[in-house]
Amino acid sequence: KKPMSAETDPIATKNAIESSIEKLEKLSKQYSLSEAERDRRMRKLIAQVCDWVDSIDHVDAESKARAASWKGRAYSKLAEYTPEAEDFLTKAIKLEPALVEAWNSLGAEYWKKKDLKAAGDCFRGALEQKKNKVSLRKLSMVVRNHGDPKTYRKRVAESVDLAKKALVLDVKDGESWYVLGNAYMMQFFTSFSTDDLEGCLKAYETAEKSPIDSASKNPDLYYNRANVHKFYEQYQKAIDDYKKSRSLDPHLPAQDEIENIHRFVKKLSKLIATKNGIKAKRRLKLKELIPETSQIREAERREFVDLKQGPNKGSFLVGVVISPVTRTWDSPVSFIVMDKNTDMFVLSIYGVVSSLQSDLKMGDVIYINQPVLKQISVNEFKERVYPCVSVGNAANISVNGKPLPKKAFANPSVKVSTFSTSFAKESKVTQKAKSKMIS
């Protein structure tokens, strides 16, 4: 509804402009709409905002700056970069450098333009004017995505620190908790520390429940958390979160991920149940490759049947590699292994390069120190269960009596294609890309 004319009621017009910019923000998150329909509705509202702005007399530098800021902020709500947003916001800042919202909106526009250096400069510029949570959390995103790869660890640590500073300003802000969760997730992929993983999941949970800017309607929170669960082979938890993300944004490839998990669990459970199709005579020959006695300092040898669910501290297993396990996602690197009793299980190793799958051959003797045992299943196929032994520290693996070579250890990083990467919600895959996972 059009407000009263600016001449008779300028305050009503200004309120309508701010209200419409808020509506644009909400409209940008209506993922149930097609990308084209959402863009059409937003552009119609942007045109209305610009008409209202033009209906006000702008006689001095301050009012002209505000007018440019309104137009720029309206255009900046669009999913893709627009030169109109950059031009209006640049003009606003030149006329009035104290406009923090203009700085933040311009930084977001440069992010969409993939000019991360300029984006970071804008958020720092905003912080020079006023310490605020929006600039801090957006700068958190920039620092871990822009810079020398050699400084990645340091930049990720800075990213976590900036997100925490945003929360100091407003501990109830769900968006800031969500950004902290993403920062912890990236730090986890540099450290493989369970503390970082726990920090990530706790931050996501708090973001979901926060009373201010709750992330409970943010599909990327659930998508990213599902990817974390999938990484740790907590497949049912991953499926549950993929379903939540799909219900909020049908354009995400969540259903594809669910189907991939279902196929994977069915395949692995069948391979283990059928002894990987290896006949008894061949299994006996492979069994003979396993030494009768072996020692690892401060650990006692166990057979697979002796393991308890969960961590088995002070224990180690010895088996032979049967075959690599292939999946549609990278981590962890897994093999089917057989022990002295010809029991087979899946071995998942974290923190190693995927080429290890081709380096280890059938019949290689593998020593597994500090094994963690879990049973893998999903609700869809409860009868399909397979045992999995995981090793979080690849230094606890040796092959044919030798530790894994240095080249087998993965550099601490995570593919940008793995998690969602949008800016507004820190993690929106473009609807055209359809492949997802954060930076």
Per-residue confidence (pLDDT) for residue 203, from 0 to 100: 97
Per-residue confidence (pLDDT) for residue 412, from 0 to 100: 59
- 161 phi and psi, to 5 degrees? -65, -40
Q: Is the distance from CB of 363 to CB of 286 less than 8 angstroms?
A: yes
> Mean pLDDT across the stretch 227-244?
95
> Mean pLDDT across the stretch 407-416?
66
Q: What percent of the chain has pLDDT over 90?
A: 79
- Coil vs helix vs strand at 341: coil
Share the mean pLDDT of the chain: 90
How far is Cα 217 from Cα 148, in angstroms, rounded to an integer? 34
Tens digits of residue pLDDT in 148-160: 999 999 999 999 9
Per-residue confidence (pLDDT) for residue 3, from 0 to 100: 52
Per-residue confidence (pLDDT) for residue 344, from 0 to 100: 98
How far is Cα 120 from Cα 126, in angstroms, rounded to an integer? 10
Residues 6+ apart with CB under 8 A from 103: 93, 122, 123, 125, 126, 129, 135
pTM: 0.84
> Mean pLDDT across the stretch 42-58?
95
Per-residue confidence (pLDDT) for residue 383, from 0 to 100: 83
Lowest mean per-residue pLDDT among 208-212, 247-251, 383-387, 434-438: 434-438
> Mean pLDDT across the stretch 223-231?
94
pLDDT at 421 over 80: no
pLDDT at 424 over 70: no
What sign for the dihedral angle of Cα 228, 234, 235, 239?
Answer: negative
Q: What percent of the chain has pLDDT over 70?
A: 92
What sign for the dihedral angle of Cα 189, 194, 195, 198?
Answer: positive
Give the burial class of 309: count Cβ atoms within 10 A of its Cβ; 0-12 exposed, 13-18 middle, 19 or more buried: exposed
Per-residue confidence (pLDDT) for residue 139, from 0 to 100: 98
> Mean pLDDT across the stretch 133-140?
98
Give the CA distances from residue 411 to residues 104, 151, 189, 350, 414, in Å, rounded to whole numbers and listed in that order: 33, 13, 9, 12, 9
- For residue 301, the cross-strand partners are 316
Tens digits of residue pLDDT in 73-101: 999 999 999 999 999 999 999 999 999 99
pLDDT range class, residue 361, cuts 50, 70, 90:
very high
277: region left, alpha or beta (phi > 0 left; psi from -120 to 50 alpha)? left
Instruction: Please indicate whether residue 419 or residue 341 has the higher confidence score (pLDDT).
Output: 341
Per-residue confidence (pLDDT) for residue 297, from 0 to 100: 87
pLDDT range class, residue 147, cuts 50, 70, 90:
very high
What sign for the dihedral angle of Cα 234, 239, 240, 246?
Answer: positive
Give the CA distances from residue 321 to residues 71, 324, 379, 401, in Å, rounded to whole numbers and listed in that order: 63, 8, 29, 14
pLDDT at 434 over 90: no
Instruction: Please indicate whether residue 310 or residue 436 has the higher confidence score (pLDDT).
Output: 310
> Mean pLDDT across the stretch 344-365?
94
